[in-house]
Amino acid sequence: MPNPVAERTSRLGFAVEVVGFGLRAAAAQDEIEHRLRTVITGILGDVRVAAERAEGTDIGGARLTVFLPGEVDPVRALPGLLMATANRLAGDNARFRDRMRLRMAIDTGRASLDRLLDSRPLWLAVARNPEADVLVLVAGPLHDAILAGHLDSAIGRFHRVEADLGEPTSAWLWVGPDQMLR
């Protein structure tokens, strides 16, 4: 169900979806959904946001959207969010045989999050980088307005891509820490 508060305010949000979720058997899907919620709760804790303070939407099919509280500073939160996602996912994958990979989008609006998550550049990056556990697309205006230059040195390289968000729009792709984009 859409969250009207998250749609009306400018808050940092992210959407994730498990790659290949629908190809798994029902029992494996149940386990992946549980693991994903555990990973997300850990990520929120890592960026110092209590899970009950974040507003989330479970879209189903191991796809979640989460908006951080309005007082969270995106400049401080985004590098931590990316690294926490990579670290939590790596830790989870070390414990299970069924490797979980995530597509992730980050922006301040629900509609753009959905479009970024479903965008062709992100899907192509997932297909071309099978060794990467997490592939992230950050909205161009978010990256350009507050993050340009700050993130590359902190967590690795971002690559500019064109995403179709109703019209061609710049976005920035991050392929996990220490991964080379293909």
CATH number of the domain that residue 142 is part of: 3.30.70.1230
Render pLDDT for 121-166 as a digit per residue (tens, 0 to 9).
999 999 999 999 999 999 887 777 666 555 555 556 788 899 877 7
Distance CA 154, CA 37 (A): 27
In a domain, 155, yes or no: yes
Q: Nearest-CA neighbor of 81 among 170, 174, 8?
A: 174
What pLDDT does 159 receive?
85
The predicted model scores a pTM of 0.85
In a domain, 182, yes or no: no
Assigned domain for 8 exists = yes
With the C-alpha atoms ordered 164, 67, 99, 158, is the resulting torsion angle positive or negative? Answer: positive
For residue 75, being part of any structural domain is answered with: yes
**Residue 170 structural domain:** 4-175
Give how many domains the chain has, as a whole number. 1
